[in-house]
Copies of this chain bind each other. A is one copy, B any other.
Amino acid sequence: MSIAVAQVRRDFLVAFRARADAVHPVAFFALTVVLFGLSMGPDRQAMGELAPGMVWVLALLATMMGTDTLFRRDFEDGTLEQLLLHGRPLFVAVLAKLFAHWCVTGLVLTALSPLAGLMLQVPAEGLPALAGSLALGTPALTLIGAIAAALTVGLGRGGMLAAVIALPLFVPVLIFGAGASLAAASGASPAAEFLWLGALLAAALTLAPFAVGLALRVSQEY
């Protein structure tokens, strides 16, 4: 357990030191929301109908960009090697790392999503479902994105390759997440979508840490 605590502590400390880095997924989210608002022309009502989906896609993109740097820095300075060598259960350390990362990205995105929704004209009754679906969805996205990030970490490519690998896996999360918020915004009950989201999160939480560990080992050898 102490290894999880130490890892979380370290990653929070790093995030705090590299503040600019840690808030960037969030800044990216805010900026893209603004860009979408800008580009949409005069039709505010049509926008409101589509907006929950947009917010979801933007949150997804922001999460994805965040996961990209998740292991890269550690790979480059060699601390990832040390993490792989220590011989205690790797998935605990991985989970701790992902948890710390989610706290400074997904959680903040979730908290900001109602504001973003307002800017993009989401009807007020859709906002709780939007935030709720993101609260369930962003951890799943982080977990899935981490697999792609781990696989590509050694390649020194920008986040693009990871994005291409992860996006197909993101699709189910996106469909149910956006579905839940769209349903709520148009007055329907989003219960079914929420259950699916929960199932996806549970699955990701169970499998992803092991997949990430494996992927990290493999990518050391590129």
Give residues in A with beta carbon < 8 Å to B. Answer: 18, 20-21, 24-25, 27-28, 31-32, 35-36, 38-41, 43, 46-47, 49-50, 53-54, 56-57, 60-61, 65, 68-69, 72-73, 76, 156-161, 163-164, 167-168, 170-171, 174-175, 178-179, 182
Contacts and interface: CB of A to CB of B under 8 A. Distances in A.
A32 B61 CA distance: 9
Contacts of A61: 32, 61
A72 B179 CA distance: 38
8 contacts: A18-B157, A24-B163, A31-B164, A31-B167, A39-B54, A39-B174, A39-B175, A50-B50
Contact of A39 (B25, B56, B76, B161): B56
B158 A68 contact: yes
Contacts of A35: 57, 60, 167, 170-171, 174
Give 5 nearest A-B pairs by CB, closest first. A24-B160, A39-B53, A46-B46, A39-B178, A69-B158
A167 to B, nearest CB: 4
A20 B157 contact: yes
A155 to B, nearest CB: 8
Contact of A41 (B24, B27, B182): B182
A82 to B, nearest CB: 19
A53 B69 CA distance: 29
B160 A21 contact: yes
A35 B58 CA distance: 10
Contact of A178 (B20, B38, B53, B178): B38
Most chain-B Cβ atoms within 10 A of its Cβ — which of A20, A57, A73, A174? A57
